[in-house]
Amino acid sequence: MSAIAKALPNLRPEEMEDPKEHLMHDPLPRGEMNRMVLESMHTTTWKYWTVVTILAFLVVTCLGYAWYYLIMQGLGVSGDNRPVYWGVFLVNFVYWIGISHSGTLTSAILRVLKIESRRPFTRVAELMTAFAIVNAGLSIFMHMGRVWLAYWLIPYPNERGIWPDFHSPLMWDFMAITTYLICSSLYLYLPLIPDLAMVRDRSKGWVKTFYKIFAIGFRGTEGEWKNLHLAMNIFAFAIIPVAFSVHTIVAWDFAMATRPGWSSSVLGPYFVAGALLSGVAAVPIVLFFVRSTMKNMKYFLRPEHFDTVGKMLLIISMGWAYFYFNDYIVPWYAGDKWEKILTLFIEAGPQAWLWYLMLFCNIVVPWSVLWRKKWRQTPWLMAIVGILINVGMYTERYIIVPEMSTINRMPFTWHIYIPRVEVILTIGTFALFLLLYFAASRILPLIPNWEVQEGQEGHILRKIGKAKIPTISQID
Amino acid sequence: MPKELKSPTSSANTAQDVQGIWGMVVDQDLCTGCQACVAACSMENNVPFVGEVDAGYGRSMQWIRIERFWQGSYPNIKATPYQPVMCQNCHNAPCEPVCPVYASVHSLSEDLNLQVYNRCVGTRYCANNCPYEARVFNWRDYMDPRQRPELVTLANHFNPDVTVRRRGVMEKCTFCIQRIRHAEDTAASENRDIRDGEVVPACAQACPASAITFGRIDDPTTKVSQAADTSRGSHLLEELGTIPHVTYLAGGA
Amino acid sequence: MSDSNTLLAVFEDIEPAADGIGKLHELGVADENMDVISGIPIRPAILERPSAVTRVGWIALAGAILGLLLAVFFVWGIPYLFPLDAGGQPIYPVPQLLIIMFEMTMLGLMGFAFLGMLVDSGIPSYTPKEYVPEISDGRIAVLFSCPKEEQRKFVDALTKLGAKSVEPAEARQL
Amino acid sequence: MDKKISRRDFLKVAGVGAATTAVLTGCGPASRYVTRQPYTKMPEYTYNGLSTYYATTCRECSAGCGLIVRTMQGRALKAEGNQNNPVNLGKTCARGQTTLEGLYNPDRVTDPIQRDSRGSTIAKKMDWNSAIQVVADALSKNKPDEIAFLMGLAPDHLFDLVTDLTKAIGAAAPIRFGALGMFEARATLVQAASDMFGQEGLPFFDIGNADLVFSFGANFLETWLSPVAQTRGYSQLRRGNPNRRGYFVQFEPRISQTGAKADEWIPVKPGTEALVVLAIGRLVAEANNITLPTAFSNADVNAAAAAADVSVDTLKHLASLFASARRPLAIPGGAALGESNGLQTADAVLALNALVGNIGKDGGVFLSPVAPLTDAYHRPANLKEMSDFVDLLKSGKIKVLFVHGVNPVFELPKSLGLEDAMSKVLQIISFSSFPDETALQSDYVFPDHHGLESWGYQKVATGTSSSVLSGAQPVIVPFFNTKATADVLLAAAQKIGGTLASTLKFTDELAYIQSKLSTLISEPDGFFSAPEINTFTASFQQYGGWWKTTDNRVAPSAGDALNKTFNTSAAQFNGDGDYFFLPFVAPVMAEAGANKPHLQETADPTTTVMWNTWVEINPDTAKQLGIQDDDVVSITSSAGTVEASVYVYPAIRPDTIAMPFGQGHAAYGQFAQGRGANPADLLSNSTNEAGDLAFASMKVSVKKTGKKRQLSRLEGVLGVYGKFGQQ
């Protein structure tokens, strides 16, 4: 007791932060929280519907029609060529897989590490995961020359007498993404069940039927909680390596190719770092928008959460820079002819601005903003940082996919890639992501109330000396 | 010449009846860059034309491209010897294992890379992984007369021995496998081995300078084996260990 | 216990619920005739309850093994059935097997963990059950059975300890 | 086992035979009546799944390469070289390969048509009877001197027929012209041979047996004279002799495809080739300690070096090469001849050959063998004669003009005023298979069969050492409602009656050809002979022609070639632009390839441009003018202006700009029309001393238009040029 008091010798009470800043120490009755969440779900303004209409229109045209056009015409309407066989579709794929690391991985890591401030925003992040994987899958399908035969990648007994080839990194990818999609959806769903039960208990008519179906008869008995807890623990531990493997395998899609730039053994961890960077950076964006546009969310989502994410971002950004430097210095030093040209092309070629943009967004921005707690706790600033980092990471993928594949060992074929229909389809995938999110925000409780309450039950404030010190009990 | 022609893992596949390993020699000293091979290949293999815009964007579909670079600057400038690049039919082909659906597979009996058009789903991984950039992709339905009415008459010369590919399918030089098969069948029906020079792919057939020689490289007596076995011979990107079956004889003095 | 009644006691908070459960213990209700329904997970020790038995771990393990075997079939079984040479790579590759094995094991593990959770909890189930919606507002319900004739005694005891209501449990549509 | 051979077995045997022997036809004159039809109506010689091969002659240019066309079920599938034919020995060029795209071209003229008005695409279909009547009327209702025939360089049998016809009616002999002939400057070559050797004939350069080749602008690996045969020669030069690799030096202002294969490229200033040749001659004579012949006595090495922008050291080095070579050979050609002093250049080159004594020797200069059925080499009209012909049309004396196998509206320099002259002609009848510019300017188009649907023969002008008559036969039934022009003329002659009918009393084209062939049937040194014409015709069809097995090249005497005097002035140029203008025939496309999509998409060997016309400008010049790749420039000469995209070409003199000929069609089908620009529009009608078009004698100005039009290139610009460019 006295040890802690000594640790805070010079702080006057007014200098100390208000423990009430922490959600965990600012409890509300569960019924009140339920009401707040339900209210946030049920409140829709004309602005909401306008945005949804626009997004729906974009999804129908930019995604639906443009994709139909792409399928009917063939990939000629895209910008791919020789040697850039993989273009923006693969950029989108890698990008969305990266975004998908936001939720599952952040929430899993935070859960495993028992970071308490995770509680209110895990779902916000996990939803991103689910929708991002949907987009990643769509991007792969858009990329395929004969998407109507995509089911040939599924290993099942068939009349054709031929199975997919597991020698191919794409098959690993297929298996990994399938695993990841299924597991992260379940991981989203598991903690959602009690909340769905809560909504079920508070709704009527067909809406009740809907929630009843998805709450699958959950009541909250001891056995149910125990099973749920164990399953969630299994998921939290198991999904971390799966998420790592997914992005590593995505990296291997490139690294296994005998191309300068791609063929790098550090690409796996480098991609994971990149995925974490873009994924975690997406969290403050969503937190900011959810917090500022939805009712009652300012109670649940607080500057402290931005702070948590900001700290992670700073570390991840440094990690990313570390891996990038690894990936950069080794070929640079080795001086392989093609790697050298590739480096020159990226840094001084016709699209060199992308490279500088990437470094600015991924290193300069986070390093200059995130070291300061005050700035980390400023939601709008964090949203801007998140957006910039995402721009930077998208740029990074653009450099890795079309730019790096421009340079190969046959200089006679070096053609610059210019995206065409991909741009529209990219808009379409972003619109789909947002639309799904908009829909989810009014269908699913975005705050896992039971987890918040569970946390709040476990947190207490104790007066030590002159100050109230937040502490945590072991009731979990 | 590949040093090692046996696949290390041939226990469970179709290597039982090796029917001859096919290879090609391109003499860059003779190649005049006249494009006869390109035209011949296109006409033999139903290779579509893609039109001005696509062709200039790096989508021309010819299975051979003749490369030339420049050395020096005016007035001491020289064109490098023309280098026709087609699928090298590597023994260890990087394009093959990356295909998720076995559309790019190896024929152990002839040691050729096969591209199974109707199996291809168009991931384009093989093309990405081909260090020679020898693969071409059907970006559009270049061969569909419904989309290209000019093909209604032009299609009359299509070779019935070669599949017409539709959009979304990868393709590449096959060493005129239809001609190899024909010769194999003929030889089998006559109960003999294929004679040297019996299989002539369209490019070699057309080449006015006779810069292209084709034949079995597992038999040291064939013309192609002897042509490959000179100090001028080399393989493209030999350092990658793909063991290509096309040997280039250096141009210049 | 055909002549026993099932009662549902609803408590406002954890402490009274713990007390209530202690009382029930005193009154001779065995742990297996008792169940706690709560809006948040509560450590059994807090309520002086034995830890619930869960088989989720074992089911997940079985799933993991199943996934592993499936991976072996995919990577080694398929080429055994359809040997095709590709790029001079081994027909039965080990590194690829490890990758697929990892993915499939994880898929099996998590997929079966989820299924196990469902199966072991007896959900999804849409049959009527004993439940009151207030539970998800943070109330704690203790479901127990007592001899019919002693019902009154139980109700009084629990109400005294702060139970909001103690009523015969009524299975109803959730 | 049953000894009887079943039909199935027979087919098997026949199939194998067909495949291995390649040629299976020529079964007597009966084959004339054999119709080759699609599957539904299976004719003789046609089996499901089996190919039939026909030997014929390529008509993409006039070189007369033999083809074997693979057909199946009435469709022609693939053209390959005829291994028997001495011209190409089984090889073809890119144009020969795509000849099927001409055959099945979607834009062919399908029926005889009568135009609403000249230049209009609206036309009324006719039937062949009335078409023949139109021809008969045109021939009979006009006076003989009001009738003119304009023919292409191929096919020869039709030219012979028309010659006979004009003779019979007393009209002027048909005039022959072709763009390739124009750019090859054939008249200059023939004139030079007669100047220097005192003997008429087309020079033959034995590249294969030489060990040093100096080519003064000759694009002999591209379209010049007989490219396939010359490429074979080149191949022999390099690798024919295992003990030595022939050396090759190219003198030209830009690196052409041929120049790209040279060991040394000497970028001589346009117009100074003759000076360089003479200077080299003088140095060679000095090096070999020969008394300086008159021909080279005027040569001033220093002045020549200065004028040609070549260092004296280079000249000395080249001369020592030439002097010490065992079999040196100098070839004149290309743009060097298309200058005001082109004949002098050609003469000087022949003199240089004479100096090293290689006239009539292996690896030296010969005269080409005279083809069968002819007394001498008859060159096509040079520009002077064409110009006279245009003047004749302009004068209005010609009432009816027949055009076959040539597209002069496109090919001739616009400044000649052919279109204007044609408007003075009352009736123009075109026999074109394609809707080209000339056919568009005619009143009637009576489409001839495509070359692969036709009978015929081609007298091989050069390329091989033997005297060759390449034979043509139909490989499929006519795909459209076309009719052989020979048949049209023969039928018209019968309609007219009189002497004409009796002179041309042939049932059809083949009968006419047989009448010509009949003189060959018992020639002693032929590849085959026959007791009578029908058997001979069968072999003629089967082997794809008839040729002698002996060396028929004429070894001329050097005569007093070395005693000629040359004046030592450079060529004169027209116009006051800053840049020499160098048009050249697009190596792949040539003059008539533009309507074949695969040829359009075949990359140019030096620039890799496809589907369009480019302008080659030296990088320094481009920088000076502020021009970048793909900028559209307008090029103005005294004769006109064209616009085209720039290709900044590192291998061209800074004072020269070059442009390929072959595109810029105003008609000629969907693949050709409206694509690129035609450099012929920039040419004046100035000629060299031999009357050939001085196509490389223009000086032009170049102006940036501010527009940009991306050239379609096979090469990745990124990897070939600029800071990322590789070698």
pLDDT tens digits, A123-151: 888 899 889 999 999 999 999 999 999 99
> A215 and A200 in contact (C-beta within 8 Å)?
yes
> Between residues B86 and C84, which one has the greater pLDDT?
B86
Identify all chain D residues contacting A341, using CB atoms and an 8 Å cutoff.
724, 726
| DSSP strand pairing (A467-472 vs D175-176) | unpaired
pLDDT band at B253 (very low <50, low <70, confident <90, very high): low
CA-based nearest residue to D580, from D619, D621, D612: D621
**Chain C contact for B135, CB < 8 A?**
no
pLDDT band at A473 (very low <50, low <70, confident <90, very high): low
Window A:124-153, CB contacts with D under 8 Å: none
User: Does B80 sit within 8 Å of D727, measured CB to CB?
Assistant: yes
Q: Smallest Cβ distance to D719: which of A344, A348, A412?
A: A412
pLDDT value at position A16?
Answer: 53
User: Does D239 sit within 8 Å of B36, measured CB to CB?
Assistant: no
pLDDT value at position D150?
Answer: 94
- Return the CATH number at C19: 3.30.70.260
Task: Kindly report the CATH number that applies to the domain delimited by D1-104+455-480+528-548.
Answer: 2.20.25.90
Identify all chain A residues contacting C60, using CB atoms and an 8 Å cutoff.
231, 234
Q: How far apart are CA A311 and CA A299, in angstroms?
A: 21
pLDDT in tens, D269-324: 999 999 999 999 999 999 988 888 888 888 889 999 999 999 999 999 999 999 99
In a domain, B12, yes or no: no
- Return the CATH number at B227: 3.30.70.20
Cis preceding-peptide flag for B75 (omega within 30 of 0): yes
pLDDT value at position D32?
Answer: 54
Weakest-pLDDT range from D137-146, D444-453, D555-564: D555-564
Weakest-pLDDT range from A70-79, A455-464, C111-120, D564-573: A455-464
Query: Residue D326: how many CB atoms within 10 A of its CB?
Result: 11
Question: What is the Cβ-side half-sphere exposure of residue B101, based on CA atoms within 13 angstroms?
Answer: 25
Distances (CA, A) of D589 to A456, B47, D222, D604, D609: 82, 18, 10, 8, 11
pLDDT value at position B13?
Answer: 41
**Chain A contact for B131, CB < 8 A?**
yes
> Which tokens in the block code for residue C8?
């549902």
* Average pLDDT of chain B to the nearest whole number: 87
Identify all chain C residues contacting B105, using CB atoms and an 8 Å cutoff.
84-86
Domain holding B195, by residue range, is 17-249
User: Does B98 sit within 8 Å of A167, measured CB to CB?
Assistant: yes
Task: Kindly report the CATH number that applies to the domain delimited by A2-158+168-472.
Answer: 1.20.1630.10
**Chain C closest CA to A96's CA: distance in Å?**
20
Per-residue pLDDT, averaged over C76-81, amounts to: 84
pLDDT value at position A36?
Answer: 85
pLDDT value at position D25?
Answer: 45
Q: What is the DSSP letter of D652?
A: B
CA-based nearest residue to D663, from D288, D392, D434, D411: D411
Residue recorded with tokens 């001739």? D412
User: Does A257 sit within 8 Å of B98, measured CB to CB?
Assistant: yes
Minimum Cα–Cα distance from B126: chain C residue: C87
**Per the CATH hierarchy, to which homologous superfamily does domain D203-359 belong?**
Dimethylsulfoxide Reductase, domain 2 (3.40.228.10)
Query: Residue A255: how many CB atoms within 10 A of its CB?
Result: 21
Domain count, chain B: 1
Question: Cα C50 to chain center, whole Å?
Answer: 14
Per-residue pLDDT, averaged over A165-171, amounts to: 90
Domain holding C70, by residue range, is 56-121
Residue B16 has pLDDT above 80, yes or no: no
Distances (CA, A) of D422 to D118, D390, D396: 10, 8, 9
* Average pLDDT of chain D to the nearest whole number: 89
pLDDT value at position D200?
Answer: 87
Q: Which CATH number fits domain D579-724: 3.30.200.20, 3.40.1360.10, 2.40.40.20, 1.20.1250.20?
A: 2.40.40.20
Contact partners for chain C, using 3 or more CB pairs closer than 8 A, are A, B
pLDDT value at position D78?
Answer: 93
| DSSP strand pairing (D468-472 vs D545-547) | antiparallel
Residue C3 has pLDDT above 70, yes or no: no
**Chain D contact for B79, CB < 8 A?**
yes
Minimum Cα–Cα distance from A474: chain C residue: C43
Weakest-pLDDT range from A110-114, B123-127, B222-226, D265-269: A110-114
Per-residue pLDDT, averaged over A71-77, amounts to: 91
Residue D30 has pLDDT above 70, yes or no: no
User: Does B92 sit within 8 Å of C88, measured CB to CB?
Assistant: yes
Residue D701 has pLDDT above 50, yes or no: yes
Q: How far apart are CA C136 and CA A94, in angstroms?
A: 40
pLDDT value at position A24?
Answer: 76
Tell me: do C37 and C63 sit in the same domain: no
**Chain D closest CA to B71's CA: distance in Å?**
6
Residue D20 has pLDDT above 60, yes or no: no
Q: Which helix (H) or strand (E) holds D530?
A: none
Q: How far apart are CA B61 and CA A81, in angstroms?
A: 11
pLDDT band at D19 (very low <50, low <70, confident <90, very high): very low
pLDDT value at position D536?
Answer: 92
> Which tokens in the block code for residue A460?
């207490």
pLDDT value at position D73?
Answer: 79
User: Does A218 sit within 8 Å of C107, measured CB to CB?
Assistant: no
Per-residue pLDDT, averaged over B55-72, amounts to: 93
> D322 and D170 in contact (C-beta within 8 Å)?
no
**Chain A closest CA to B131's CA: distance in Å?**
6
> Which tokens in the block code for residue C91?
């027909």
pLDDT value at position A159?
Answer: 82
pLDDT value at position D38?
Answer: 52
Residue D31 has pLDDT above 90, yes or no: no
pLDDT value at position C4?
Answer: 74
| DSSP strand pairing (D264-266 vs D75-81) | unpaired
Residue A240 has pLDDT above 80, yes or no: yes
CA-based nearest residue to D519, from D551, D543, D546: D546
Per-residue pLDDT, averaged over D589-593, amounts to: 88
Buried-exposed string C131-152: b where 16+ CB fall within 10 A, e elsewhere? bbebbbbbbbbbbbbbeeeebe
Residue D16 has pLDDT above 50, yes or no: no
Q: How far apart are CA D485 and CA A337, in angstroms?
A: 62
CA-based nearest residue to C138, from C3, C17, C21: C17
What residue type is assigned to position A282 of the chain?
Answer: A
pLDDT band at C5 (very low <50, low <70, confident <90, very high): confident
User: How many residues belong to chain D?
Assistant: 727
Q: How far apart are CA B152 and CA D78, in angstroms?
A: 17
Query: Quick one: residue D706, left, alpha or beta (phi over 0 = left, psi -120 to 50 = alpha)?
Result: left
Residue D44 has pLDDT above 70, yes or no: no
Per-residue pLDDT, averaged over D616-628, amounts to: 94
Residue A232 has pLDDT above 90, yes or no: no
Per-residue pLDDT, averaged over D660-683, amounts to: 92
* Average pLDDT of chain C to the nearest whole number: 81
Domain count, chain C: 2
Q: How far apart are CA D627 and CA D657, in angstroms?
A: 13
Residue of D16, D80, D95, D97 to mutate, interface with B, max B Cβ within 10 Å: D97
* Backbone φ, ψ for residue D579 (5° rounding): -125, 145
* Backbone φ, ψ for residue B244 (5° rounding): -70, 155
Minimum Cα–Cα distance from B127: chain A residue: A85
pLDDT value at position B89?
Answer: 92
Q: Give DSSP secondary structure letters for A151-208.
A: GGGS----TT-----TTSHHHHHHHHHHHHHHHHHHHHHTTHHHHHHHHHHT--HHHH
Q: How far apart are CA A215 and CA C39, in angstroms?
A: 14
pLDDT band at D4 (very low <50, low <70, confident <90, very high): very low
Share of chain A above pLDDT 90, in %: 42
pLDDT band at A374 (very low <50, low <70, confident <90, very high): confident
**Chain C contact for B128, CB < 8 A?**
no
pLDDT in tens, D397-428: 999 999 999 999 999 998 899 999 999 999 99
Per-residue pLDDT, averaged over D701-721, amounts to: 92
Per-residue pLDDT, averaged over A216-224, amounts to: 83
pLDDT in tens, C155-174: 777 777 777 777 777 777 77
Residue A265 has pLDDT above 80, yes or no: yes
pLDDT in tens, D169-184: 999 999 999 999 899 9
Q: Which helix (H) or strand (E) holds A463?
A: strand A459-464
Identify all chain D residues contacting A412, using CB atoms and an 8 Å cutoff.
714-716, 719-720
pLDDT value at position A474?
Answer: 56
pLDDT band at D22 (very low <50, low <70, confident <90, very high): very low
Weakest-pLDDT range from A239-243, A466-470, C47-51, D174-178: A466-470
Identify all chain C residues contacting B9, using CB atoms and an 8 Å cutoff.
85, 88-92
- Cβ contacts of D163 within 8 Å, gap of 6 or more: D173, D174
User: Does A457 sit within 8 Å of C174, measured CB to CB?
Assistant: no
Q: Where are the alpha helices (DSSP H) in D376-517?
A: 383-394, 408-411, 418-422, 437-440, 485-496, 498-503, 509-517
Identify all chain C residues contacting B12, using CB atoms and an 8 Å cutoff.
79-80, 83, 91
What residue type is assigned to position C124 of the chain?
Answer: P
> Which tokens in the block code for residue A18?
């208000």
Residue D45 has pLDDT above 70, yes or no: no
| DSSP strand pairing (B212-216 vs B22-27) | antiparallel
Q: What is the pTM of this model?
A: 0.91
Q: Smallest Cβ distance to C107: which of A161, A179, A220?
A: A179
CA-based nearest residue to A336, from A284, A407, A286: A407
Residue of B101, B146, B165 to mutate, interface with A, max A Cβ within 10 Å: B101
Q: Smallest Cβ distance to A412: which of D720, D723, D724?
A: D720
In a domain, B109, yes or no: yes
> Which tokens in the block code for residue D372?
């069968």
pLDDT value at position A17?
Answer: 57
Contact partners for chain B, using 3 or more CB pairs closer than 8 A, are A, C, D
How do the domains of chain A map onto residue ranges?
2-158+168-472
Tell me: do C49 and C131 sit in the same domain: yes
User: Does D720 sit within 8 Å of B70, measured CB to CB?
Assistant: yes
In a domain, B5, yes or no: no
In a domain, B2, yes or no: no
Question: By three-state DSSP, how is residue A442 classified?
Answer: helix
